[in-house]
Copies of this chain bind each other. A is one copy, B any other.
C-alpha cells in the first residue's frame, strides 16, 4: 500500500507534514512537493523547461522529495520517475486556505488531485480555511483518516476526485457533508501602485462573493456552519451538445 502525498504550499509547509502523519498508519508514504509555494497554479505544467527532483531527509519514515515545478508536475514526475510502484491513493494538502466554491478552478492543491484522477488513481485534496503558515490542523486529522479509509475501501468512480474543505471551527457534533461547489466569484480587484519610474503595476486582491448564501447544499454553507464539505469533482467538463444547437448547422 503506497500513498503519494503532494501539495501546493511547498515541501516546508506545516499542512503537508500533518497530512503525512495522518497517513502513515495506512501504509508507505512518499511525499513529492514543489520546492516553494505554488498557490493558484491550477493544473499548470512545465512543458518548456527542465525539472529536477531532490531527495530530502525522510520525515517520520516517509520519503521526501522537492521538485522545481508545479503541483501537477510533482504528480507526473512521481508517476514516471520517483515512485517504486503505482500508488493506491494520491492525497494533496492539507492546504493552508480554502479551496471551496470557485477556488477549486485555480487551486494547485486540487490540480494535483485532478492529475491523480487523470492517472486513474483515487485522489483527494484536503484544505483548511486558514491561510496562516502556523494554522492548527489538529481537528482536520480525524476527517482525513475517515475519508481516506473510506476511499481506500470503496474507491472512487472513474474520473472523479474529492475536494474536501475543513472549517477552522467545527460544529458539534462533528459533521461531514457531501455537497456541491457554491456559486460565487471574486471581486478581483487589483491594488494599484506606481513604480519609481512612474509606471503603474498591480497586485491581485479582492473579496469572495457568495452568490447563493441561502442555499444549504453548498460547500460554502457547510464551512460557514462548522461542517466539513466533500465535493465530488469530475475532470471531464463537457456538457451536452444540445446547449448550442445552432452551431450544428454551421457548414
Contact = CB atoms under 8 A, between A and B. Distances in A.
Interface of A: 37, 39-53, 70, 72-73, 76-77, 79-81, 102, 104-106, 111, 114, 118-119, 143, 146-147, 150, 154, 156-157, 160, 162, 173-181, 183, 185, 188-190, 192-193, 199-204, 230-241, 243-248, 250-251
Nearest to A234: B239
21 contacts: A40-B46, A43-B106, A45-B106, A50-B193, A52-B202, A53-B202, A76-B204, A80-B188, A80-B189, A81-B202, A102-B235, A105-B118, A119-B185, A147-B250, A150-B246, A150-B250, A176-B247, A177-B248, A180-B241, A183-B236, A233-B239
Majority secondary structure, A binding face: mixed
Given A173-B251, A204-B76, A81 B190 contact: yes
Contacts of A238: 180-181, 231-234
Nearest to A50: B201
Given A44-B70, A51-B201, A178-B244, 7 more contacts: A76-B204, A81-B192, A105-B237, A173-B251, A174-B251, A175-B251, A180-B238
* Number of copies of this kind of chain in the complex: 2
